[in-house]
Structure 1
């Protein structure tokens, strides 16, 4: 960029130095010492910037900062310090930070701090050149799904190995979430990274050549080499201040340095989570209200082929959609319908014209969804994407007559106990920590969130209690049939009956996990961060073998 970090750092250090000079001078007056007392020099500041104009701006900004601070120093030492013509050397190098050898910019043995905010470019926004740079920086390791800023972490940890140099980067928060964590941080931990401070996710306005967006969701991570001889206290910063902690893991919480890997099976002996069914039909098997009315006008018996059809948005916002569901229905029952046969024909045509062979193969069965995963039992259903403003993802318990689509995840053979655990604050705390994000929204996944979630060992009494509190949540929702779950789970408008039902369920689940601690001789509940730390400990215990 244009040198803001360097300029602010220079000014802050010079102000500290001016305070030190004041103390050193004491009551002395009219002492002409020139610039000998000034030890913070511009030639101690280095930078790499890809844009030539930004390089010039950065140099100019540093020179202006030097001039301003020398004026303040003159007022302290009563000296006429000569500033012009410009003599200070600014070590701002034009180049691509991922292609240039940082040791050619600054001697390794003179480097105290590395700071910056690398370009905020996600995996989908990277150009082919940037992806190539990313892979090249990581020396060929498989890192195709991580954010562009990750390359700066790898270059930094390689450069500072065996030194006391400290590093801090403003970064996209997605490098501490979801599937990126096991890819990136397994490499960085193996390289010897040790996080010494972290500012958790916050919104930052930014607009540059690479950050042409109004707001980005960021984290700030400070780190050093674990072999550094310089011990550092560790802090987690929040809007409310900072907490000193013993360890900061890649999810930026006080917990062991384990990473949650993607896995295909749950770590506990619980039912597997699946995607909903996928029509792969170009919309021809999906029905809106008008389509349903036309089908029923054609023949009232067509109702036997129509099912409610829901995914994440339908569950959350109470949107109404339906689908043609002809699984295990004899063709003789629906081939009299002109509307249904036309939709089947259009589905067949769409599939035949696909460039994807698997879709072409589905043209043999155009009357069926392309991927059918609909169970014949009651399901717990979780939207894949949900707003971060909600304390609880609107998990639902749904009967098998409703078809679940691929924008939601489902657990067959589900019961109230399963629903109660997954809608609890314990599971939500886990989800908020390890799930990925779509912009700022939670992006729930079976492989990362659900399959790694540590379930409690419960007694029948505890299980029954959780089932009852879960039922109370469903009953509280039913008191407001005209409201969507988006309405009910808005923190500003959540009905008192629903909030109390959730609080009772949270308490029952916390008791089952024994999420308590002793403070001043009294038993109290763990905080959310402490709850997550306990879950990480359980995860390590379950998976260590």
Structure 2
């Protein structure tokens, strides 16, 4: 299951179980649903022993639920039963639910003893880690039912054997997000900031609101840095808390201003008579506290309590993940602002999909080789060289947002470096000199945050990114200190996070970091589709790629691809971007990739085919994405890899469709590349609804004037066809003499409305068609029966439901049609071969297939079957139609839903698939990717032959 699916399942689970739950009647259902629907466990009853027998003091008892694979005991109580209070048990003993479960656990065989104990009352789940239960004051981790949508990852221990502890980092980060939200809301209230921008805002009011927002965002970042610094030991313990506590609310505003100024002032530049409470704070440097124009609103008792109690006394910031830090903070931004900027916040798992194949896998493998070097002297030299290599790498994220990619990369490199330091000390404690407290110290850390560069248009995100890197630096320094057994100075900040505020498509990336000094470019540029781009954004892309190559179909991210391709010319720099999958599908592929491949000579080194991209922000964004790693053709790459689902394939080449096939670009074309029937759009009315009739309107029209019955035809669009919607009809006056309908007032009223509607159009062809209001705007349909292909179809379907329509029906332009097609054509188009081609080259509407005759059908390489093979395909095609006819009450949407597809229909399709693959000479064991690769080779041969004819 994807994270998005799990979150939605958790939401539904919460709604189903809110306010209900009886131990005896509902306990089993509750856990089956939670384990299956939310956590994705298959065959729950095969993995869970409900009512497991256990003998306690010779008496048979039953454990409510026991998971033998993960060693979990579950003790279930009814809703309303307190999980921390003792309850009288059947043996006359008063026990808490945990005590009761532990009593059962003590009576189990050794190899069955619980690693985890869970108690639950439907509204709360309490988790006890049995590895920690000997420690004093260890409290259970509590998940409220209503929190499950955010906290379900903390239940992974139920289904995964390798969970060592419930994700404390995730728990801390979620709680941190809630605290940031509280702080933000409390300050926003004092600033008087509205939730959304007022509609009739004056320029002065707008400027003030934006200035307040800027101050609010920066204030939140500064306060959290102080809270973190206090808990992490960067500041003296409790110094910030005690400083805040020492002032009455009305004085706190000025007190914080004074503190921020001191934090930005070097020790030797401070007033020598400075009060002790301020003098105790160190000099931070780094620019975080340098802006003195930041405004702080008046404090109230409530606001002081949020800062002092919620954010300081009741929370420990030490273990916050700096990678998640950015997402936590950006979750406080207005969602509308996030959408407009195209920003999506990234989970660590997805970050590693980028950085692991880009460089981290190779670095880890290289370190293992270094650690296996024979001989201490050689190993020391190899370790030093490896550490120097780590320190020489430079990274650029040209759309860095809150710095998640840079931060996680820094953490990953420092973890490798700490392994090096640990090994060097193990070999020879004198490697770094005599490292003793109080003596001259040599800092062994060489990997610095100054190796990391970012470009970000949002000023708040720039500050967050820098702060996240500083927190990461602090945490990794603490790890190094534990290795070398000495303290290192974190403050003042001496290494700079090179995050530049600016528009990445407007500035020269070489001004941020020269290409000659760069190792890797990475990130997830804004996900803004071509149709959603503003004029300014289109102009930005045009300024990079030029009007001639822009095409209306290129997404905003195309600008980043071009700028990266230009920057890496004649270098060894490697690039990896996360992108919407639209850049590898449909009409966008050719205009985007033509110059990238042919002018800038890039090659794709690895790719993740389409997957769901999720984030760790409060309001998650779910997008269908690809990941593409590329470099200059002059840069050697040994193993090109395609990642899909859980599989990895080593391939010879990766083309822009992310298939192991030649670098061909499929262009939109007006005619089929093979000698087959023409595909057109359905008929386009452009009538403001005046040609279209409901069944009631049709009946009334004909009842009032039977003579115009010949003017009315059945009208069918994609939704009508797929879902058996109510029947629709249309006025079809093509080839009908005007004398038949000119005296019909209703028809003439509709024609007048069509004329007026078309005359008002901004498009010249539409205005010209106002002269013939009795005709559809376009009527490509011929007087033959036709195949109908919905132009948009659900991605869940393995096959787009194609079908035959009688010539009397009029197809809407929501469909594509092939007039005069027969069973053979239907069989090929409905086959898995054509569907594999379609899935690869078609465009998408959100995630649904968007079938295009000019791209998908006209470029499709058809087989050259023998007469016998063609006859077989005609038979299997008919069997598909026959299987559909077995279910006359079901719509095609019903029949082609993967969960409800009848076995007869599935079998008919499988027979047709085999027949078509045999006509191509393809093995039935061929994967879909291999099938597409072969089709692309055929396409290349066809286009080469076509060019030679010209």
The reply to whether TM is greater than 0.5 is yes
Q: What's the CA shift for 1:21?
A: 1.6
CA offset at residue 335 of structure 1? 3.8
Task: Give the match for residue 876 of structure 2.
Answer: 469
The match for 2:116 is none
The residue aligned with 2:463 is 56
Deviation at 1:307, TM superposition (A): 1.0
- Residue of 368, 385, 389 corresponding to 2:796: 389
> Contact 1:384 / 1:407 at 8 angstroms: preserved in 2?
yes
* 2: CA distance, partners of 1:89 / 1:457: 64
Q: Does 1:162 align with 2:562?
A: no
The one of 842, 845, 853 equivalent to 1:438 is 845
Matches within 5 A, 1:146-157: 146-157=554-565
Judge which range, 353-362 or 424-433, deviates more.
353-362
Per the alignment, residue 606 of structure 2 pairs with 197
Which residue, out of 755, 758, 772, partners 1:348? 755
CA spacing shift, 1:35–1:443, aligned 2, 3 Å: farther
Q: Partner residue of 1:297?
A: 703
Match of residue 713 from structure 2? 307
Aligned to 1:194, the other structure's residue is in SS state: strand
Shift, 1:110, TM fit: 1.9
Cα deviations by residue, 1:488-529 (Å, 9 ceiling, x for unpaired)? 10000011111111011001000000112xxxxxxx521100
Asked whether the 8 Å contact 1:135–1:144 carries over to 2, the reply is no
| Structure 2: runs of 5+ lacking an equivalent | 1-400, 946-950
Matched, 1:184 2:592: yes
Equivalent of 2:738 in 318, 331, 345: 331
CA distance in 1: counterparts of 2:426 and 2:708, whole angstroms: 95
- Evaluate the alpha carbon distance shift between residue 277 and residue 539 of structure 1 in structure 2; reply closer, same or farther with a 3 A threshold: same
Q: Cα distance, 1:274 vs. partner?
A: 0.9
Of the candidates 126, 136, 140, which is equivalent to residue 543 of structure 2?
136
Q: Separation in 1 of the partners of 2:650 and 2:444? A: 36
State the alpha-carbon separation in 1 of the partners of residues 884 and 716 from structure 2.
18
- In 1, the alpha carbon distance for the partners of 2:761 and 2:478 equals 71
| 1:25 equivalenced with 2:25 (yes/no) | no
In the alignment, which of 628, 642, 652 is matched to residue 246 of structure 1?
Answer: 652
What does 1:139-538 correspond to in 2, within 5 Å? Answer: 139-145=546-552, 146-190=554-598, 191-205=600-614, 214-228=621-635, 230-319=636-725, 320-516=727-923, 525-538=925-938
- Structure with larger Rg: 2
Question: Is this contact kept in 2: 1:476–1:497, CA < 8 A?
Answer: yes
CA distance in 1, matches of 2:596, 2:516: 22
**Tell me, what secondary structure is at the counterpart of 1:364?**
coil
> Which residue of the other structure, out of 475, 497, 502, is the alignment partner of 1:95?
502
C-alpha distance in 2 between matches for 1:465 and 1:425: 16
Deviation per residue, 1:332-365 (Å, 9 max, x gap): 3334533333323322333344444433333333
1:9-48 to structure 2, matched below 5 A, reads 9-26=409-426, 31-32=435-436, 34=441, 36-48=443-455
User: Contact 2:707/2:740 (CA < 8 Å) preserved in 1?
Assistant: no
Give secondary structure in 2 for the equivalent of 1:93: strand
Correspondence for 2:482:
75
Cα gap change, 1:24/1:141 in structure 2, threshold over 3 Å: closer, same or farther? Answer: farther
- Secondary structure of the residue aligned to 1:409 is strand
Match of 2:939? Answer: 539
Taking the aligned partners of 1:62 and 1:162, their CA distance within structure 2 comes to 31
CA distance in 2, matches of 1:207, 1:313: 36
> CA 1:117–1:412 in structure 2 vs 1: closer, same or farther (change >3 Å)?
same
1:201-229 per-position Cα deviation (integer Å, ceiling 9, x unaligned): 12224699xxx98322211111111112x
| Partners of 1:355 and 1:148 in 2: CA distance | 27
| Alpha-carbon distance, 1:390 to partner | 0.6
Counterpart-to-counterpart distance in 2, 1:22 and 1:417:
69
> Residues 349 and 106 from structure 1, CA distance in 2 versus in 1: closer, same or farther, beyond 3 angstroms?
closer
Q: CA deviation at 1:297?
A: 2.9
Deviation of 1:305 (Å): 2.3
Structure with more of its chain in helix, by fraction? 2
Q: Structure 1's 264 and 110: CA in aligned 2 closer, same or farther, altered over 3 A?
A: same
**Counterpart contact for 2:443–2:488, Cα < 8 Å:** no
SS for the counterpart of 1:47 is strand
- Residue 376 of structure 1: how far off its partner (Å): 1.1
Distance in 2, matches of 1:89 and 1:352, equals: 62
Q: After TM superposition, give the deviation of residue 28 of structure 1 in Å.
A: 6.0
Aligned length: 534
Residue 65 of structure 1 corresponds to: 472
> Which deviates further from its counterpart, 416-425 or 264-273?
264-273
Shift of 1:410: 0.9
**What is aligned with 1:520?**
none
Measure how far apart 1:185 and its partner are: 0.6
Deviation per CA, 1:220-278: give whole Å up to 9, x if none: 111111112x4331111122131111111101111111111111111111111111111
Gaps of 5+ in 1: 517-523
Q: Which moved more, 1:172-181 or 1:48-57?
A: 48-57
Instruction: State the distance in 1 between where 2:758 and 2:457 align.
Output: 47
Q: SS at the partner of 1:124?
A: helix
- Asked if the contact 2:551–2:591 (Cα under 8 Å) also holds between the matched residues in 1, the reply is no
Mean Cα displacement is larger for which, 122-131 or 20-29? 20-29
Asked if 1:123 corresponds to 2:523, the answer is no
Cα RMSD of the aligned pairs, angstroms, is 1.9
Q: CA 1:108–1:357 in 2, change beyond 3 Å: closer, same or farther?
A: closer
Structure showing greater relative contact order (alpha-carbon pairs closer than 8 Å, 6 or more residues apart): 1
Give the CA deviation at 1:182.
0.5
Secondary structure of 2:642's match?
Answer: strand
Q: CA–CA distance in 1 between the matches of 2:874 and 2:930?
A: 25
1:25, distance to aligned residue in structure 2 (A):
1.4
User: How far did 1:368 drift?
Assistant: 2.4
8 Å CA contact 1:298–1:337 kept in 2: the answer is no
